[in-house]
Amino acid sequence: MTMKTIGLIGGMSWESTLPYYRLINEQVRDRLGGLHSATLVLYSVDFAAIEQLQQAGDWATAGARLADAARAVTAAGADFLVLCTNTMHKVAPAIAAAVNVPLLHIADPTAAAIRAAGLTRVGLLGTRFTMEQDFYVERLRGHGLDVLLPDAGQRETVHSVIYDELCRGRSEPASRAAYRAIIADLACRGAEAVILGCTEISLLIGPNDSPLPLFDTTQVHARAAAEFALAG
């Protein structure tokens, strides 16, 4: 069969780009068998530079840099793009405008998986940018989802654990306990499921940590990428 070449834009952080590579290749192997693996191109950015732009609110420059990455993987033969991060979908329009191949938006297969499970009211965990800005929440709402957010103090905890620990390869028991408490609070407020809306969160939290179904965007996005690559 003909397999599309996947263009991965990763490194934000590299800790969560690693599972993308593994999950995509596992999907292709399981579908095709034998020694099959995915055809892909990876452009991994220096996250320190991107994080500084995030903190400065300079999304235009961040978008331009990731647009350059998109052009590079397209020139290397990518048939479609996968941005291996939730937060930087803030600049998805700039990336999509830079190339003539599709961008598989992380929120779309996530919302589709939630709707397929018969759920509509979901809690969202992610960086402060993902939780508090419209680019992500409104995309989910466009799929008919009712999105619940942690309170302000909880959002700060979720955000700081991502940047101070998970992106640095650390997974602390106290942080796991804090996330569990936040998920329990979302459940009490009526959430039917929780979106792990940062690609690092699944490095800390799994199904045993939650009374609710978890939708891991890394896993969902990687699976969707493999399916899209095999569809043509």
Catalytic residue among 85, 127, 217, 218: 85
* Residue pair 127/159 in contact by the 8 Å Cβ criterion: yes
Catalytic residue among 198, 199, 217, 218: 198
Which amino acid is it at 33?
G
User: If 0-12 CB within 10 Å is exposed, 13-18 middle and 19+ buried, where does residue 177 land?
Assistant: exposed
For residue 143, give Cα distances in angstroms to 55, 103, 137: 29, 18, 10
Answer yes or no: 85 catalytic: yes
Answer yes or no: 84 catalytic: no
Catalytic center residues? 85, 198
